[in-house]
């Protein structure tokens, strides 16, 4: 069984890399696979291949950042979903459930409606979306400090925050002009069109930091699956681990949402598919969820580019259209699906 779990992680990672490589070469500029390959080699060993400067610029500043962003954001969203579902013992819990998406949408919408900028990925929009998206984490942190909250209570607090910001966002759009409202609505769908090479280090650093902290928390989170009382008797600080895990998941999702918008279902599907395939041991589930999330995002990005080419659809729309029926199928097929 252990070999199967490792094989699953490796297999999904390899499949993701293959599709990502093919996705980079799928473009409307006529850039071939050999030119893409040569461009990447030239970044490590300059002038190895004779590739036009314009082609190299397009590959490194348009096509590559988009695919790399898809891989990184998919992995981050999946790891956040995995942590949230496990720590709250709810297969449908995600950072989005806790209000990260709706609060970020309000933050971005505020910048757009006030006329500061309409450019997705711009500094004002990213910062405002991030700051607002951390409000749910702050509320959960302050609430947990005052009293020890049950998992169900934390979920209900998150859902309440989500409804509050959704209502605020609706009122904000009601008083905005048509162009600003259109831009705000487009942001809420989520897309990778605005991905820039300069943004990759921030997303990569978030993935590395999230992974390191999650690995550090693995043992205690696994113990907490046996119940709060049992975990406490074994020396686990239940309140600290639960609050810290939720803040970690919210922070990582907040970074992603701030840069690419609210791309949904990846944080739900990645962990669920992995859990069905290899079980609930976080030692394997965590990397499997990351690989599966990255694979799903890369596939969604490719479909967004290929479905009605040369028009590129919003990736968030693809993940929702494909993700919803897949999730329904998984829930029906696994009637007793729980976080175990």
Say if CB 245 and CB 231 are below 8 A apart: no
Mind giving me the DSSP string for 7-39? HHHHHHHHHHHHHHHHHHH--SS---HHHHHHH
Residue 208's CB is within 10 A of a number of other CB atoms, namely 11
Task: For residues 211 and 217, give the distance between their C-alpha atoms in angstroms, rounded to a whole number.
Answer: 10
Which two three-digit tokens encode residue 90?
């709810």
pLDDT for 193 equals 82
pLDDT for 239 equals 84
pLDDT for 266 equals 92
Which residue do the tokens 């990351």 mark?
A: 290
Say if CB 74 and CB 13 are below 8 A apart: no
Task: For residues 52 and 156, give the distance between their C-alpha atoms in angstroms, rounded to a whole number.
Answer: 56
1 Cβ contact partners less than 8 Å away, ≥ 6 residues apart: none
**Farthest CA pair distance, the chain:** 65
List, in sequence order, every residue forming a beta bridge with 311; answer none if it has no partner. 308
- Per-residue pLDDT tens for 188-225? 888 888 888 888 999 999 999 999 999 999 989 988 88
Residue 61 DSSP label: I
Task: For residues 130 and 260, give the distance between their C-alpha atoms in angstroms, rounded to a whole number.
Answer: 11
Residue pLDDT tens, the chain, 340 long = 789 999 999 999 999 999 998 888 877 667 777 888 888 888 888 878 888 888 888 888 888 899 999 999 999 999 999 999 999 888 888 888 888 988 988 988 888 888 776 566 677 888 888 999 889 888 888 887 777 677 778 888 888 999 999 899 888 888 878 888 888 887 888 888 888 888 899 999 999 999 999 999 998 998 888 887 888 888 888 888 888 899 999 999 999 988 888 888 899 899 989 998 898 888 999 999 999 999 999 999 999 888 877 788 889 889 988 888 887 877 777 654 555 5
Tell me if 339 is assigned to some domain.
Answer: no
Three-state SS annotation for 207-233 = HHHHHHHHHHHHHHHHHHCCCHHHHHH
Helix-, strand-, coil-residue percentages of the chain, each rounded to 5: 75, 0, 25
Which residue do the tokens 């907490």 mark?
A: 224
Mind giving me the DSSP string for 177-204? -HHHHHHHHHHHH--STT--GGGHHHHH
Which letter, b or e, does each residue of 238-277 get, where b requires 16 or more Cβ atoms within 10 Å of its Cβ?
Answer: beebbbbbbbbbbbbbbbbbbbbbbbbbbbbbbbbbbbeb
**How many angstroms from the chain centroid is the CA of residue 69?**
10
User: Residue ranges of the alpha helices (H) in 225-281?
Assistant: 228-233, 238-260, 266-278
- Say how many domains are in the chain: 1
Task: For residues 35 and 53, give the distance between their C-alpha atoms in angstroms, rounded to a whole number.
Answer: 11
Which two three-digit tokens encode residue 193?
């069109």
Task: For residues 70 and 55, give the distance between their C-alpha atoms in angstroms, rounded to a whole number.
Answer: 21
Task: For residues 8 and 289, give the distance between their C-alpha atoms in angstroms, rounded to a whole number.
Answer: 11
**Domain that residue 263 falls in:** 2-333
Task: For residues 246 and 139, give the distance between their C-alpha atoms in angstroms, rounded to a whole number.
Answer: 11
Tell me if 319 is assigned to some domain.
Answer: yes
Tell me if 338 is assigned to some domain.
Answer: no
CATH code: domain of residue 172: 1.10.3470.10
Tell me if 340 is assigned to some domain.
Answer: no
């Amino acid at each position: 069984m252990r070999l199967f779990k490792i094989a699953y992680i490796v297999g999904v990672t390899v499949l993701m890399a293959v599709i990502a490589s093919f996705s980079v070469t799928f473009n409307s500029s006529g850039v071939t696979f050999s030119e893409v390959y040569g461009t990447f080699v030239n970044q490590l060993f300059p002038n190895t291949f004779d590739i036009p400067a314009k082609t190299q610029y397009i590959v490194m500043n348009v096509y590559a950042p988009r695919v790399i962003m898809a891989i990184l954001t998919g992995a981050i969203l999946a790891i956040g979903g995995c942590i949230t579902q496990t720590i709250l013992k709810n297969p449908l819990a995600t950072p989005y459930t806790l209000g990260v998406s709706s609060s970020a949408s309000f933050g971005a919408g505020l910048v757009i409606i006030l006329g500061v900028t309409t450019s997705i990925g711009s500094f004002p929009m990213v910062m405002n979306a991030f700051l607002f998206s951390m409000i749910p984490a702050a509320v959960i942190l302050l609430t947990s400090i005052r009293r020890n909250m049950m998992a169900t209570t934390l979920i209900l607090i998150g859902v309440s925050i989500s409804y509050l910001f959704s209502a605020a966002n609706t009122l904000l759009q009601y008083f905005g002009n048509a162009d600003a409202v259109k831009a705000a609505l487009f942001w809420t769908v989520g897309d990778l069109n605005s991905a820039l090479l300069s943004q990759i280090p921030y997303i990569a650093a978030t993935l590395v930091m999230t992974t390191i902290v999650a690995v550090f928390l693995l043992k205690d989170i696994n113990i907490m699956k046996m119940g709060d009382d049992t975990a406490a008797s074994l020396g686990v600080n239940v309140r600290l681990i639960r609050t810290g895990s939720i803040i970690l998941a919210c922070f990582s999702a907040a970074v992603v949402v701030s840069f690419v918008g609210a791309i949904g279902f990846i944080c739900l599907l990645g962990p669920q598919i992995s859990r069905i395939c290899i079980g609930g041991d976080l030692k394997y589930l965590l990397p499997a969820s990351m690989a599966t999330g990255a694979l799903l995002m890369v596939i969604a990005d490719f479909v967004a580019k290929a479905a009605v080419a040369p028009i590129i659809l919003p990736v968030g729309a693809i993940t929702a259209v494909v993700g919803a029926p897949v999730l329904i199928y998984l829930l029906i097929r696994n009637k007793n699906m729980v976080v175990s």
